[in-house]
Amino acid sequence: MKVSAIITLKKDVLDPQGKVIHQALDGMGFENINEIRQGKYFEIDVNENDPNKAKAVVEDMCKKLLANLVIENFKIIETQ
Protein backbone atom coordinates (compact mmCIF):
# COMPACT_ATOMS: atom_id res chain seq x y z
CA MET A 1 0.00 0.00 0.00
CA LYS A 2 0.96 3.62 -0.52
CA VAL A 3 1.95 5.74 2.42
CA SER A 4 3.01 9.38 2.31
CA ALA A 5 5.31 11.26 4.60
CA ILE A 6 5.45 15.04 4.93
CA ILE A 7 8.60 16.52 6.42
CA THR A 8 8.43 20.07 7.74
CA LEU A 9 10.95 22.31 9.46
CA LYS A 10 10.37 22.83 13.17
CA LYS A 11 8.95 26.17 14.25
CA ASP A 12 12.18 27.65 15.60
CA VAL A 13 14.30 26.77 12.56
CA LEU A 14 15.01 29.56 10.10
CA ASP A 15 13.70 28.81 6.58
CA PRO A 16 15.39 31.26 4.18
CA GLN A 17 13.94 29.49 1.12
CA GLY A 18 10.43 29.88 2.47
CA LYS A 19 11.14 33.57 3.11
CA VAL A 20 12.36 34.17 -0.44
CA ILE A 21 9.31 32.36 -1.89
CA HIS A 22 7.13 34.51 0.34
CA GLN A 23 8.82 37.68 -0.96
CA ALA A 24 8.49 36.56 -4.59
CA LEU A 25 4.79 35.77 -4.20
CA ASP A 26 4.33 39.07 -2.40
CA GLY A 27 5.94 40.83 -5.37
CA MET A 28 3.57 39.01 -7.74
CA GLY A 29 0.61 40.48 -5.94
CA PHE A 30 -0.18 37.74 -3.42
CA GLU A 31 -0.11 40.19 -0.56
CA ASN A 32 -2.19 38.33 1.99
CA ILE A 33 0.45 35.76 3.03
CA ASN A 34 1.42 35.54 6.69
CA GLU A 35 4.24 33.02 6.33
CA ILE A 36 5.57 30.29 4.01
CA ARG A 37 7.55 27.29 5.20
CA GLN A 38 9.01 24.88 2.66
CA GLY A 39 9.04 21.14 3.32
CA LYS A 40 9.39 17.74 1.63
CA TYR A 41 6.85 15.15 0.54
CA PHE A 42 7.50 11.44 -0.02
CA GLU A 43 5.22 8.84 -1.60
CA ILE A 44 6.28 5.37 -0.54
CA ASP A 45 4.81 2.17 -1.93
CA VAL A 46 5.29 -0.35 0.87
CA ASN A 47 4.92 -4.06 0.21
CA GLU A 48 2.51 -4.48 3.11
CA ASN A 49 -1.29 -4.78 3.28
CA ASP A 50 -1.83 -3.90 6.92
CA PRO A 51 -2.06 -0.07 7.11
CA ASN A 52 -0.72 0.06 10.66
CA LYS A 53 2.30 -2.05 9.78
CA ALA A 54 2.94 0.01 6.63
CA LYS A 55 2.76 3.24 8.59
CA ALA A 56 5.08 1.84 11.25
CA VAL A 57 7.67 1.00 8.58
CA VAL A 58 7.49 4.52 7.13
CA GLU A 59 7.72 6.02 10.61
CA ASP A 60 10.93 4.07 11.13
CA MET A 61 12.24 5.36 7.76
CA CYS A 62 11.45 8.95 8.79
CA LYS A 63 13.28 8.56 12.09
CA LYS A 64 16.33 6.89 10.58
CA LEU A 65 16.80 8.75 7.27
CA LEU A 66 14.03 10.82 5.75
CA ALA A 67 13.85 13.44 8.52
CA ASN A 68 16.53 14.95 10.70
CA LEU A 69 14.75 15.21 14.02
CA VAL A 70 16.98 18.04 15.24
CA ILE A 71 15.32 20.42 12.78
CA GLU A 72 12.41 18.57 11.21
CA ASN A 73 9.05 17.05 12.11
CA PHE A 74 7.27 14.40 10.09
CA LYS A 75 3.65 13.45 9.52
CA ILE A 76 2.54 10.14 7.99
CA ILE A 77 -0.54 9.90 5.82
CA GLU A 78 -2.12 6.73 4.47
CA THR A 79 -2.91 7.47 0.84
CA GLN A 80 -4.25 4.15 -0.45
User: CB of residue 20 vs other proteins: minimum separation in angstroms?
Assistant: 7
Nearest Cα neighbor of 19 from 39, 40, 37, 41 is: 37
Q: Which is nearer to other proteins, 1 or 71 (CB)?
A: 71
Q: DSSP secondary structure string, 52-63?
A: HHHHHHHHHHII
Check: CB of residue 55 under 8 Å from CB of residue 76.
yes
Binding mask 19-58 for other proteins (x = CB under 8 A): -x--------------------------------------
Binding site for other proteins (CB under 8 A): 12-14, 16-17, 20, 65-66, 68, 70-71
